[in-house]
Amino acid sequence: MSYVGVILISITLFLAAGFLLIFAITGDVKSIEHLYKNSYLQKPLTAAEESVFLDLKLLAKNNPEQLLNEEQLKKLEHGDIEIVVRKVNDIEYASPALDKLGLVQSLPMFEETNINTRDTIKMKDSFFTYVKFDFYFSDKSEGSIFVMRKASSYAELIRESFPILFALLLLLLVMIIGLLNYLVSRSIIKPISILKEGAERIKSGDLNFEIKATSNDEIGQLNREFEEMRKKLKESVNLQLQYEENRKELLSNISHDLKTPITSIMGYVEGIKDGVANTPQKMEKYLSTVYLKARDMDSLIDELFLFSKLDLKKELFTFETVRMDKYLKDYVEELQLDLLQQGIQIELQQLYKPIYVSADREKLKRVLANLISNCVKYMNKDEKHISISLHEGLYDVVVQVTDNGYGIESSALPYIFNRFYRAEQSRNSLTGGSGLGLAIAKKIIDEHGGDIWATSEVGKGTSVFFSIKKGEEM
């Protein structure tokens, strides 16, 4: 539609240019309408010219010798009317303003049929319009009478050059249309063709290309939006592929982690069936082991389910303002007795001032539980110690959980928050665990808009830090 519009605009501009050109030549709107008819075909005479011409024509028909009477011809002249009488090739009479030599060279030849009676001649730098009548004198010699009037040299030149000017205007129109066609092709058609090609590539599943915007107009904006859509679509496809890869890895790890307890349970059940547990003490031991293995499996499945929901962002979070110093104090008091029974001391080093954060209480508790659980698993000293401290930043709050376990190798630190990763690659069953605890903690902290990281020194212990944005005071 825009392309057709450009062509219509081009034609309109061409017509307007022609109109302005003719108007500039004539200076009269009405004469524009009749320029071709009046100036080129008919060349009408004024009333005075018509009267003089008819008188001369009448004399030529009835008494041609009177046309040689100079006094009588002068009586007919008035205003800007010029009279010329020619006999054979000699100028018998010419108005004083006319150049006889120029007339001899410029006037048309004798024409007995009197078909071409009107035209324009040029003498020196002036143009003259004329009307003529050819006849025979009494002696049968050729004669011609001319009624002439000086014309505007500029207007006459334009009139004679009109075909050339029209051709130039036509050429100008072609050039304008060609230029506009090029501009439209470059600014509209080509970008749209690129968009069409891009849409076809996306349709075929190819997202590995780029659409560049070369202008700042609506078409350029459309190209940028299309490119942004392609990027988002590619990110979505890559994310879907990542989810698929994660799912495969998850299934592989699940099968690995579930196979060990299931094999153990099957072994103990077969032992019971075969009568190996032939005493009440053995039976109780076998059943306790089966129960513990089943509980571990249940815990693993719960963690897998939670991690899956966090990974797919389908776990709901309920954020509220939490007084962090009091929250940690209550949590440590709740946990302290259980840890003492395991021979582990826990202490809280906190700031003695209210500190508020925006957090989901239950999810935050899950993070702390996973970190403490990790500390407990990897204790290897007689005096087991866990410390929790709180640090206030300008825009966030940092919680630090430190233990005096056997630490983590520096080469393993970058991977400890990956799912199913455990520093002991053999997955030693003595420590247990699924390898999901720290991965779940990272997902939860990410949803809080914070960050989580760790430092460790082998033989001395590990510190895990996580940050949470500050909240408004209650």
Point out which residues pair with 127 in neighbouring strands: 122, 151
Sequence-distant (6+) residues with CB within 8 A of 149 are 46, 49, 80, 81, 82, 128, 129, 130
Sequence-distant (6+) residues with CB within 8 A of 274 are none
Q: Is 420 a residue whose pLDDT tops 80?
A: no
Smallest Cα–Cα separation from 92: which of 68, 63, 123, 58? 68
Q: Is 34 a residue whose pLDDT tops 90?
A: no
The H or E element that residue 379 is part of is: none
Find where tokens 């057709």 sit. 4
Find where tokens 């949470």 sit. 468
**What whole-number percentage of the chain has pLDDT above 90?**
27
Q: Is 37 a residue whose pLDDT tops 50?
A: no
Contact present, 389 and 463 (Cβ < 8 Å): no
3-state secondary structure of 387: strand
Q: Is 162 a residue whose pLDDT tops 70?
A: no
Report, as an integer, the average pLDDT of 432-451. 86
Smallest Cα–Cα separation from 388: which of 350, 351, 437? 350
Report, as an integer, the average pLDDT of 314-338. 92
Sequence-distant (6+) residues with CB within 8 A of 371 are 401, 437, 438, 441, 464
- CATH of region 42-160: 3.30.450
**What whole-number percentage of the chain has pLDDT above 70?**
85
Going 31 to 35 to 38 to 43, the CA torsion angle's sign is positive
Domain 320-469 has CATH 3.40.50.300: no
More confident residue, 7 or 47: 47
Q: Is 230 a residue whose pLDDT tops 50?
A: yes
Q: Domain 207-315 has what CATH class? A: mainly alpha
Rounded (to 5) percent helix, strand, coil in the chain: 55, 20, 25
Contact present, 434 and 420 (Cβ < 8 Å): yes
In tens, the pLDDT along 276-287 reads: 888 888 888 889
Q: What is the pLDDT of residue 309?
A: 86
More confident residue, 139 or 428: 139
Contact present, 269 and 438 (Cβ < 8 Å): no
Query: Residue 360 has which token pair?
Result: 């989901």
Report, as an integer, the average pLDDT of 398-409. 92
- DSSP designation for 435: S
Computed on alpha carbons and rounded to an integer, the radius of gyration of the chain in Å comes to 54
Sequence-distant (6+) residues with CB within 8 A of 369 are none
In tens, the pLDDT along 76-135 reads: 887 788 899 999 989 999 988 888 888 888 899 999 898 888 888 888 777 788 899 999
Q: Whole-model pTM?
A: 0.52
Sequence-distant (6+) residues with CB within 8 A of 259 are none
The H or E element that residue 286 is part of is: helix 280-311
DSSP assignment of 188-242: IIHHHHHHHHHHHHHHTT----------SSHHHHHHHHHHHHHHHHHHHHHHHHH
Q: What is the pLDDT of residue 321?
A: 94
Point out which residues pair with 123 in neighbouring strands: 126
183: confidence class by pLDDT, cuts 50, 70, 90: confident
Domain boundaries, the chain: 42-160, 207-315, 320-469
More confident residue, 385 or 309: 385
Q: Which of 77-91, 201-215, 419-433 has the highest mean pLDDT?
A: 77-91
3-state secondary structure of 371: helix
Range name among 174-178, 321-325, 443-447 with the lowest pLDDT average: 174-178
Smallest Cα–Cα separation from 465: which of 368, 394, 379, 400? 400
Q: Is 431 a residue whose pLDDT tops 60?
A: no
234-237: list long-range contacts, CB under 8 Å, 24+ apart. 234/207, 234/208, 237/207
Q: Looking at this protein, which amino acid is placed at residue 59?
A: L
